[in-house]
Structure 1
Amino acid sequence: MVIGAGGQTGRPAVEALARDGWEVTAASRGGARDEGWPGEVRAVRLDREDDAALGSLIGDGCDLVVDIVAYGARHARQLTGLADRIGSAVVVSTVSVYEDGTGRGFDTMSEPGGFPQYPVPVTEDQPTVPPGDATYSTGKAALERELLAAGDRLPTTLLRAGAIHGPHSPLPRELYFVKRNLDGRRRRVLAHRGESRFHTSAARNIAELIRLAAARPGSRVLNACDPQPPTVAEIGTAVDAVMGVETETVLVDGAAPSPSVGSSPWSVELPVVFDMTAAERELGYRPVVSYAESLPETVDWLTRRVSGQDWQDAFPTLARIYPDLFDYAAEDASFGA
């Protein structure tokens, strides 16, 4: 059973498992099917917060539960409470659980002097933030702590994903470049000379890791990122190539001149890069797609989604987290200066 099957990562995960021979029940809030799924996939509605509904859906038992949307200690206990009916689990976590050893992590990035100084690359034995319910990162840390503690009863592979990309994303960072190209903007600004690296994770590569972990149950934590993290300038160039446009990029030394000029969703002052050696060693993982190879379907999906509607209506989560992505007036003023 795949919980959260209707989302960005759930869709390719269901497809990968079904094509690998699993009988898959795809559970999501809407219960819809994806056109890429084989016909034998069973799509059902599920409210993730309804304990009784989840227990009923698992019934007498299933060999594998893949949980794309689990968050916090409560969801972990929801799964471990059903451990006698679940063979093993694969649960998607996040790289934002890491801290740099001095208490700095994703939750302190916006504070003065709070940007974490991670080793390059970050391995799975890097310290993590304390578990709790105060932030997304601490909630995911609590999820991990509970599931790892119950590893003898419910073998669980935890996959720490980076900046997930692909169609059906509620947080499509690529829109930063796609919308500018659609709007005819042929000049853009990038802070930190466009050299920022914020490790990406293709949804299809996460699905491949899920497929591999499903066949090799165990209690473990693995990074789940793309093979080579592109710089933000390389991401922009790759998007331009897919869209067939030429742009000029103005590179700024250091931080962005203002929150609305030069600050992309990947713009970080220090590299945030993760090691994939453990996944290769333990699961035989090989990425199924590179960042550039994954872009055409993402760009096509984004273009269709923003056609005829405001981007903030199309992607309210993105708009809430990055409200100043498209302040063209501020950009033009900076060019003039």
Structure 2
Amino acid sequence: MIGAAGLIGREAVGALARDGWEVVAASLGGGRDEQWPGDVRAVRLDRGDDAALAAVVGDGCDVLVDLVAYGRTEARQLTAIQDRVGSAVVVSSGAVYVDDRGRGFDTQGEADGAPHYPVPIPEERPTVAPGEATYATRKIQLERDLLAAGEALPVTLLRAGAIHGPYSRTPRELFFVKRALDGRRRRVLAFGGRSRFHPVHSSNVAELIRLAALRPGSRVLNAADPTAPTVAEIGRAIDAVMGHESGTVLVEGPPPVGHVGLTPWSGAHPIVYDMTAAERELGYRPVTGYAESLPATVEWLVARLRERKWEDAFPKLAAQFAPYGGLFGYAAEDAWLDR
């Protein structure tokens, strides 16, 4: 498993090991999770080193799971060793889809660029063109290059939704957790609080990986939780876990000023993924639901925020939302509410 020390990897290594697989957990630091069975072998791997990857695979493996493949370079690495790999499971992204007008994740910052997908989105939907320009175009390039290997490398590609759970480097739940810790009693939600960006818990991705490992084949499948809650429902669920009460001001349409009312889930139209194919082809049943999984995530986030500032704890998230004025523009929120 490549990328074993991350959000999905921690869950997937454990799921496979408990299922009877002999697991080699490869990551840059070579660390191991305390929850993993003792016979899991943790190794260091610099993903950018082709020779190091080939050495970890050694004489071969039944299944190679890749959680950190992003484009043509990683696809080339995998196809170069395909003669030593029985099958592969690779995490892609739901960001590859476009709507009937060609709008997708890459156009959201443009005027009238918000995608308007069908609900739910099936795997047969059109996608962005492959390329190296953006995250979405690189992911579809990865998919195309791996699927082109055909029977030489059976590969299951999982188009994941908004991944969540403990150990996330970009935890969207922080938006509500920190507000509760800061004693905020009012919050503003744009688009009437009805925005939906389908989440998927790391344990549900791990379950899809476990099932795909048992059923090799070349396929593309969505990866999502059993439900897609609205952003208002997410806020209420997190408040309930934290024993916090917040008043919510709903704004119809986009932010009334600046970025007031925007959240990490916000969008003009819902993004909901169809899980029918995974159920049919793999016999997939989710391990958990969004609300059920929240206590562990909230506990982990609260612990992280005790140790450091949120920007230091989650620098990737801070950088991601810096162009939007950050996640916690309290002064702008209060000024608008007061007016």
The TM-score normalised by the length of structure 1 is 0.98
Aligned to 2:187: 188
Residue 74 (structure 1) shift = 1.2
In 1, the alpha carbon distance for the partners of 2:19 and 2:193 equals: 40
Q: Offset at 1:71? A: 1.0
Matched position secondary structure for 2:90: strand
Q: Which residue does the alignment assign to 1:149?
A: 148
1:91-134 per-residue CA deviation (whole Å, 9 max, x = no partner) reads: 00000011113221100011001111111111000011111100
| Partner residue in 1 for 2:328 | 326
CA contact (8 A) 1:5 1:26 kept: yes
Alignment of 1:62-73 (within 5 A): 62-73=61-72
Letter in 2 for 1:48: R
Q: Distance in 2 between matches of 1:151 and 1:204?
A: 28
Q: CA deviation at 1:186?
A: 1.3
The 1:289–1:306 alpha-carbon spacing in structure 2 relative to 1, beyond 3 Å, is same
Partner in structure 2 of residue 264 of structure 1? 263
The match for 2:272 is 273
Q: How far did 1:202 drift? A: 0.6
Aligned length: 336
Letter in 1 for 2:108: M
Letter in 1 for 2:311: Q
Classify 1:39/1:259 alpha carbon distance in 2 versus 1 (closer, same or farther; 3 Å): farther
Give the whole-Å Cα distance in 2 for the aligned partners of 1:242 and 1:189. 20
CA shift in 2, pair 1:115/1:75, >3 Å: same
Query: Aligned residue for 2:37?
Result: 38
User: What aligned pairs does 1:274-289 form with structure 2 within 5 A after superposition?
Assistant: 274-289=273-288
Cα distance in 2, alignment partners of residues 8 and 257 from structure 1: 35
Q: Report SS of the residue matched to 1:189.
A: strand
Separation in 2, partners of 1:259, 1:61: 54
Q: Percent identity?
A: 67
Q: What is the match of residue 113 of structure 2? A: 114
Kindly state the Cα deviation for residue 86 of structure 1 after the two structures are TM-superposed.
0.3
Q: What secondary structure does 1:152 align onto?
A: helix
Matched, 1:87 2:86: yes
Asked if the contact 1:16–1:211 (Cα under 8 Å) also holds between the matched residues in 2, the reply is: yes
| Counterpart position of 1:220 | 219
Residue 309 (structure 1) shift = 1.6
Residue matched to 1:309: 308
Rounded Cα–Cα distance in structure 1 between residues aligned with 2:178 and 2:259: 15
Paired with 1:279 and 1:258, the residues of 2 have a C-alpha distance of: 41
Equivalent-residue separation in structure 2 for 1:196 and 1:189 (angstroms): 13
> Any idea what SS the aligned residue of 2:117 has?
coil
CA gap of 1:117–1:260, structure 2 versus 1, over 3 A, is closer
Partner of 1:206: 205
Alignment map for 1:123-202 (pairs within 5 Å): 123-202=122-201
SS of the equivalent of 1:294 reads helix
Residue 199 of structure 1 contacts residue 230 of structure 1 at CA under 8 Å; is this kept in 2?
yes
* Unaligned runs of at least 5 residues, structure 2: none
Q: By how many angstroms is 1:258 displaced?
A: 3.1
Report deviation, 1:259.
Answer: 4.0
Query: Residues 252-280 of structure 1, C-alpha deviation per residue, up to 9 Å, x if partnerless?
Result: 11111234311000011001111000000
Q: CA RMSD in A?
A: 0.8
Question: Aligned partner of 1:101: which letter?
Answer: D
Which one-letter code corresponds to 1:9 in the other structure?
I
Flag as ranges the 4+ runs of structure 1 deviating above 2 A.
Answer: none
SS in 2 for 1:142: helix
- Kept in 2, the 8 Å contact 1:6–1:33? The answer is yes
Work out whether residues 260 and 325 of structure 1, in 8 Å CA contact, stay in contact via their aligned partners in 2.
Answer: no
Any unmatched runs of 5+ in structure 1? none
Residue 235 of structure 1 aligns with which residue?
234
Summarize deviations over 1:162-220 as a string: whole Å, max 9, x none. Answer: 10000111110000000000001111000111111111011110000000000000000
String of CA shifts for 1:208-267, please: whole Å, max 9, x gaps.
Answer: 000000000000000000111000000001101110111111111111123431100001
2-structure distance, mates of 1:165, 1:145: 26
Q: Which amino acid aligns with 2:335?
A: A
Match of 2:47 in 1: 48
The 8 Å contact of residues 260 and 326 in structure 1, kept in 2 or not, is answered as no
Supply the distance in 2 between the matched residues of 1:258 and 1:93 (Cα, whole angstroms).
35
Give how far 1:330 is off: 0.8
On the 8 A contact 1:206/1:224 being kept in 2, the answer is yes
